[in-house]
Structures are given as C-alpha cells and as structure tokens.
Chain A
Amino acid sequence: MPAVELRGITKRFPGVVANDAVDFTAEAGEVHALLGENGAGKSTLSHILSGLYRPDEGEIRVHGVPVAFHSPRDAIDAGICMVHQHFRLVDRFTVAQNLILGDRRGAGRRFRIDPGAVTDQVRRLGERYRLPVDPRARIWQLSVGERQRVEILKALYEEAKVLILDEPTAVLTPDESRTLFETLREIVAEGRTVIFISHKLREVKAVSDRVTVLRAGRVVATTNTADASPQSLASLMVGRTLETVQRRHTGTAEGDVVLALEDVWAHSDRATTSLKGVDVSVRAGEIVAVAGVAGNGQRELAETIAGLRGPTRGTVRVGGRRLPGGDARAAYRAGLGYVPEDRLGTGVAPNLSIAMNVDLKSYRDDSWGPFLRLARMRRRAEEAIRTYDIKAPGPDAEADTLSGGNIQKVVLAREFAGRLKALIAASPTRGLDVSAVETVHRHLCDAADRGVGVLLISEDLDEIFALADRVLVMYEGRLTEAPRDDRETIGVLMAGGHPAT
C-alpha cells in the first residue's frame, strides 16, 4: 500500500490550472523526486499535500485512508510534513522553541512549558539522526545549512511519515547537499517517505529512487530514476529538446580592463563589514563569475559597484574612470549596466509601464526639458518587445503584470540600451523557467562577444560552468580565484575551507 496516493488532483487559480488531474503515488521507504519547471505545478501539489491549499477536485489517501486537510495541522497530524524552501522558522526563537511550536501531542499538550525537558528531548532527537544542532541556539545565529537541519528535525519531531522537501539544495553548498542526501537516505531506510522537489536533474539522479515529471500542471511521466537519462528527463520536463547555452572559450581575454575594483571594503545594512578588501578586474569580452552561498557579501558587492552603496575604502573603476562612491547615476554614465538580484523590487518599477521601465535610466538623454517624449519611448519599447521577445500585451502593460522571465527581459533591454562597457548580473536567472534561463544566458554571452565585460554573481554552479571564463568564490566578504572547471575545489572554497593542494 502506498504511503501517499493522490488521485485526479485538480487545482485552479484565476486564469490558470495549476494542477490538472494529477495522479501521484509515493511508497514507504523511497525518495520520490518531483521534477518540473517553475510553474509546472510542483509547489501547488506540495501545498495541497501539506494542507496549505485545498484541491478543487480529487482525492488524497494516506496509507490507503482517504483524508481531507483543512489546515497544515491536519496534514501534520496525518504524518505529512513540509520543509519549505523559505524556511518557516521563527528567527528569534531557539531551536527547541521552534520544534515544539504548535505541538499538540504528549508533553506538548500541557499549558506550561518546561524548557529543560524540551531541550533534552530535542538533543536526543538530533543525536539519533546525526543532525547535530544546539537546541538552545537562536535561529538567527545559525547558518542556512543548520536552519535546514532544524526544519528536518521539526518534521521528525512531529513523527512525520512523509517529508516533503521543496528545492532543499537551493541554499546549500555542494558539500552540505551531499550531507543532506545522506540524511535523506537514512530517513527512508526507517520506512519513511521523502518527496524531493527539484528542477535540478543532477540532484534528482543522485538522490531519488523514482521520479515523477510535471509539465504545465500535468504528470507527463513516472519512472525509476535509474532507468532515466538526464537528457530524457530534461526533454520530458521542457517538452522539447533543450539546447543549453555553452559559451565558446576563446582562451585568455586580451581586451582592456573595463571593470576594476581595488581593495574595496563596504558595510552591510546591519553596519557590519561585509566586503573585506575585494580586488576584481574584468576585461572587455570576458565573463567573470562570482560563486558562493548567498549572504557572503554578494549583494553588497553588486550594490557597491552599481553605486547604490558607498564603499568605506577602496576604488571602483569602470572603463578606467574612477567612480565616486554611492552615485548610481555616475556609474550608469560611465557605462555600467546592472541586472539586480531583486528583479521586481530593484530591477523595475512594478507599477510603471514597460515603456517607462525601458527608459528608466536614459529618459534624460532624450527629453524635451522637463517633458518626456512619450511617443518615442513607446516606439523604443515596442522595439525592445520585438528584440527581446517579451510576452506582453504592449508597451503600456505594467511591469508587475509580467512573468519573472519577461520582467528580466525588460531589465536586459534597458541595461543593454546604452553604450555598455561593463555589466553586473546578480543571480540573473534565479526563479526563471528553463526557457527564460536560456534567453538570459544567450544575451549575456552575446554581450560578452560584443566586448562587454560581464561580472556574473550566481549561486548556481551549473550556470557558472556554462558561462564563465574565470571563477571567483566569495566567502565572508573575500574573493578567491578558483580553477574554472573544478566543482570540488569551488565547493570547498564556498564553505570557507582551503582546497587541498
């Protein structure tokens, strides 16, 4: 009897059918991967399974018994726990407090909380599953990998029979991912079930026993992982044969240095030093990648170069010209393009039209005194919509009505419009679906071929290997040069270690 069985699950949102008659079964003792692009319906399905959404049609059975979940609590009581991609933890609470939150069994039913007993219980649980974490530590003090351990412990504390992990490796170093996979194997060895949601083929191959592929809300295949090749899974996922962008390497770039940072120091928002003496130089026609786990100073690096954050020490040069610190307009005038990490918040003005957003930086160059030349702006926007294949009703559509991939194309259209010398692209493909990723990659490569120096900040090693001429690893505000093709060494550097010589 399967641990979980979904029959004919349909869930509609205004304008979309997120899940269309989905059948899915996961057995006890298996890691079952749920593979699909963004928007394929993986998250909706997991939200239905974890009690956050109610299906419009269909039936859920847990160990053969039909169930109806009205809240996450119902799902937890039925033994189904979700480890969310964005952790659902209370930062200011201790590990132990997070674990007992909402608990209604045994000791958890008592009105009064006994901190000592709870701490002991959590420590024993951590030891049993070799998930070491101090029960009295506050969540904000923990690393991202440790927070994930807390999420998993939380599920085990609730005695979950079925654990759903939503893109669990997105925030982990390669080494942490490997540890996670070992833990997952141990959990299923006890007869539990793990549902592993991902769009990364490599990981699905590495960890799962079976895989179900979703596309546009429907199940397109369920198969034993061992029988499937990464290529066949990829084409199932996308629905066509995929051409991944792979950059031709032209050996060492010999162009002029277009972007140079010398001994740059900067503060983070919390007034701690987050850039500690960064040196980078990017030549024309070169793509230099900055790898690393988020939160090691990447955001501050991008913002310092873009002039959104003043460095406390050091200089930034674009095209040989020294930029005044913290002056975004000067950076733009010097020929710097910036594709920010926060697409909707920083990348575009969400309530303005595509036309306005495309001209957000250059409108001064072509205005008539204080008046905008709207007709010309619309024409330029129409051109951008054609060139970049932006799926939008027209130049007057507001930016926030577009999908993530199309918003990113608007950003690219704007940043590539001027006389560009250097470009910073911060996580330019995060959260985009495979086809949009392809487009963005193609534009980055084209820009480099046209002689733009590109600094690509990314957490996605596959992206880095596909595009970069050189790789730097960022850890705690410092950059280290890494060999271009060596996943192992880069992983060690990302975790702050020193590569074996």
Chain B
Amino acid sequence: MSGVNNSLIVALIASGVAYGTPLLFGSLGELLAERSGVLNLGVEGMMLVGAVMGFWTVQRVHAGAAVALTAAVLVAALSGAAMALIHAFLVITLRANQIVSGLALTIFAGAVGLSSYLGNDLNLADVPASHSFHAIFPSSMQSWPIVGPIAFGQNALVYLSWACVAAVAYYLARTRPGLNVRAVGEAPGAADAMGIDVAKYRYAHTLAGGAFAGVAGSTFTLAITPQWVNGITGGAGWIAIALVIFAFWRPELCLVGAYFFGSLQALAPELQARNISLGPTELWTNSIPYVATVVVLVLVSWRGASRRLGAPAALGSPYVREEVS
C-alpha cells in the first residue's frame, strides 16, 4: 500500500498542498482586497514581514508549542495588517496610485529592506525554529492510500487555510457585508448612494488582506522551512497576486490554483529526491512555477477576457464623490 503513497504523483500533490498553502493564504487576502477595489501589489513585502515577525515570536515566547505557534501566527497576521494599513492610508485616504504604493511597500519591506533588517538585527538567521507546525493526524492515518499523505499528512495551517477558503466563499456569496464589499469593488458610486461607507469597507478588506499575507509568510518560517532565511518567500507573493486573476476572483478556485502552483514548486525537490534529471541544470525545473505564472496570466488575459471573467469593475481606481455641480 505504501507503494502508492511513494509514487511521484501522490508525493507531488501532497507536497503541492504544503507548498501551496502560503500561496493560498496570500491569494485569499489579495482576493478580499481586490474585491473591495484595492489592488495590493505589496503582498510579497507583507509576506516577508509576516515571515520574520512570526519566526521572531516563536523564538521569543517561552511556552508550549501550541501557545507559541498560535501567538506567532497572530503576530504575523498583525504585522501584515500593519503593513497593509500603510497601503490603505496611501491609496484610500490619500488616493495615491495603487500600483506605485504596492510596489513601494514590497521594495520597502523586501529582501534588501525591512524584513532583512529585522531578521538580521534580531539574529534570526541560521537558527532552527524552537517550535514548528507538524502533521497533526496519527501516522496510521497518514499511511492510508492516496488520501493519507494528501489529506491527513498536513499541518494545522493547511487545515486553517481550508477553513478560510470556506469562510471567505460563504462570506462573499451569502452575507450582507459580503454583498456590500462586492458592490464597493464593482460600483463604489452605487454603494455610496445606498449608504455603504466605501472607505470603511476598503480599509477593512485591505487590512484583512494584509493579515492573510502575514500568515502566508509565517507559513514558510513556521511550517515549510522552518527557519528564517533572507527573502524566504522567493516571489510567492507575486504568484499569489497572479493566482487571484487565474482564479477569476473566486476563493474556491484560489485553492485549485494554489495547489497547482504548489505542485509545480514541489516538482524540483521531488525529482531531485528520486534522482530524476530533466536536463543538465536545475535552472529550468526551478523556474517552472514562474514561467507557468506568466503563461497562465497570458492565457487568462487573452482578449481582455478578465473583465468578463470576474475582475471587480472598480479595481485599482480610487473613489471620489463627484464634486462641483
């Protein structure tokens, strides 16, 4: 039976789920922000800050694993949200250009910026995590054929991400604030005329998006690696942004996309572990996720399809009540 579980395809999917989890958190957050009309290109930076702050917390909190890890995830979420607050203030209150602000945040927080400074200053490099997330189900369940490694071999963050997908999907489709936020992203003028506070909704969802990005970053330092390395996210934030488009702004499709890209990322290590070589260098197996991102984006953007396929109509544009009669 363990033969099935060792097959390349099951191993790829199982590690695809693990590698895909930060992408899933990141894209869910970006989806919430974009549904309110705010494009946040700072995801990569927020992930990096979440990664370093989460790792710092777990090293500092001297408590049981459960408490330390919970605190670490919360701190990561808060630091991501704090970063998003800068973006929200710039683009919602000051109506700055959303692309410029997001890029600036990523550069500010990036591998030669804040996250790098914090990590080095707090001496987080080259130390193993004092606690990390592990598979929570007993190994007997993990050895069940196929579903064992994929569904029961995962850590708590993976199951948390599943709950988040369900919660976000339900929130957007079936609740009143969900309906309101969609209206804010589609037609802020209409929402305003119906008495919905556009700025409040945009702030709330941009901050929530930042919190998700922070958790996404901590997934690297608390579960996948688990240690802190400068620039640990390796562009996952950008893939998360692309995923939102790939998923046509729908949370359930974010899940599919995240695991697809997660599996592509798992391809190189899994092939290496089996001593399979696809070419003289690992360069191109390592670049597969990024190349695939580009290809997918080209495909879904074909002929301006994105508008029909669910992009919020007011995405990227600040809302100003018409002035002067």
Binding site for B on A (CB under 8 A): 13-14, 16, 18, 39, 41, 43-44, 47, 50, 52, 71-74, 76-77, 82, 84, 86-93, 97-98, 100-104, 108, 110-113, 154, 271
Contacts and interface: CB of A to CB of B under 8 A. Distances in A.
A136 to B, nearest CB: 15
Given A89-B187, A101-B183, A110-B176, A72 B194 contact: yes
A18 B325 contact: yes
Given A13-B323, A72-B194, A102-B194, A90 B182 contact: yes
B128 interface: no
B192 interface: yes
Contacts of B323: 13
B182 A93 contact: yes
A44 B179 CA distance: 30
Given A108-B176, A111-B176, A72 B190 contact: no
Given A43-B325, A88-B194, 6 more contacts: A77-B195, A90-B182, A93-B183, A102-B183, A102-B195, A271-B303
Contacts of B174: 112-113
A111 B179 contact: no
Contacts of B190: 87-90, 98, 101
Contacts of B177: 111
B324 interface: yes
B7 interface: no
20 contacts: A13-B325, A50-B193, A72-B192, A72-B193, A72-B194, A82-B193, A86-B189, A87-B190, A88-B193, A90-B186, A90-B190, A92-B186, A93-B183, A101-B179, A101-B196, A102-B191, A102-B195, A110-B176, A112-B175, A113-B179
B296 interface: no
B163 to A, nearest CB: 18
Nearest 10 interchain pairs by C-beta: A73-B195, A102-B194, A44-B325, A88-B190, A88-B193, A18-B325, A90-B187, A102-B195, A101-B194, A90-B186
B218 interface: no
Given A100-B179, A108-B176, A88 B321 contact: no
Contact of A91 (B187, B192, B324): B187
Contacts of B192: 52, 72, 88
A84 B187 contact: no
Nearest to A217: B325
Contacts of B313: 91-92
B180 interface: yes
Nearest to B189: A88
Interface in B162-184: 174-177, 179-180, 182-183
Nearest to A87: B190
Contacts of A14: 324
- Residue of A39, A74, A87, A88 most packed against chain B (CB within 10 A): A88
Contacts of B194: 72-73, 76, 88, 101-103, 154
A491 to B, nearest CB: 30
Contacts of A271: 303
A108 B321 CA distance: 25
Nearest to A97: B179
Contacts of B175: 111-113
Contacts of B196: 73, 101-102
A102 B180 contact: yes
Interface residues of B, number: 25
Contacts of A98: 190
Given A111-B175, A111-B176, A13 B193 contact: no
A271 B190 CA distance: 28
Contacts of B303: 271
Contacts of A52: 192-193, 321
Contacts of B180: 101-102
A84 B189 CA distance: 11
A115 to B, nearest CB: 8
- Residue of A43, A50, A93 most packed against chain B (CB within 10 A): A93
A122 to B, nearest CB: 14
Interface in B211-241: none
A197 to B, nearest CB: 12
A451 to B, nearest CB: 41
Contacts of A50: 193
A52 to B, nearest CB: 6
Nearest to A51: B195
Nearest to A84: B193
B186 to A, nearest CB: 5
A297 B224 CA distance: 57
A205 B104 CA distance: 58
Contacts of A74: 195
A74 B179 CA distance: 20
A292 B175 CA distance: 41
B186 A13 contact: no
Nearest to B195: A73
Contact of B186 (A72, A82, A86, A93): A93
Nearest to A47: B325
- Residue of B175, B177, B195, B196 most packed against chain A (CB within 10 A): B195
A90 B195 CA distance: 14
Contacts of A44: 325
B179 A41 contact: no
Interface in B290-325: 303, 313, 321, 323-325
A90 B183 contact: yes
Interface string B192-210: 1111110000000000000
A92 B185 CA distance: 11
A446 B182 CA distance: 51
Nearest to B184: A90
A267 to B, nearest CB: 13
B187 A76 contact: no
Contacts of A82: 193
Contacts of B191: 90, 101-102
Contact of B324 (A13, A73, A86): A13
A66 B321 CA distance: 25
A154 B237 CA distance: 41
A220 B176 CA distance: 45
A71 B186 contact: no
A52 B195 CA distance: 10
B195 A76 contact: yes
A113 B182 contact: no
A112 B179 CA distance: 10
A238 B323 CA distance: 24
A356 to B, nearest CB: 25
A90 B185 CA distance: 10
Contacts of A102: 180, 183, 191, 194-196
A89 B324 CA distance: 22
A110 B174 CA distance: 11
A456 B325 CA distance: 28
- Residue of B177, B192, B193 most packed against chain A (CB within 10 A): B193
Contacts of B193: 50, 52, 72, 82, 84, 88
Contacts of A112: 174-176
- Residue of A14, A41, A73, A97 most packed against chain B (CB within 10 A): A73
- Residue of A98, A101, A110, A113 most packed against chain B (CB within 10 A): A101
A110 B176 CA distance: 7
Nearest to B323: A13
- Residue of A41, A50, A77, A113 most packed against chain B (CB within 10 A): A113
A154 B313 CA distance: 22
Contacts of B179: 93, 97, 100-101, 113
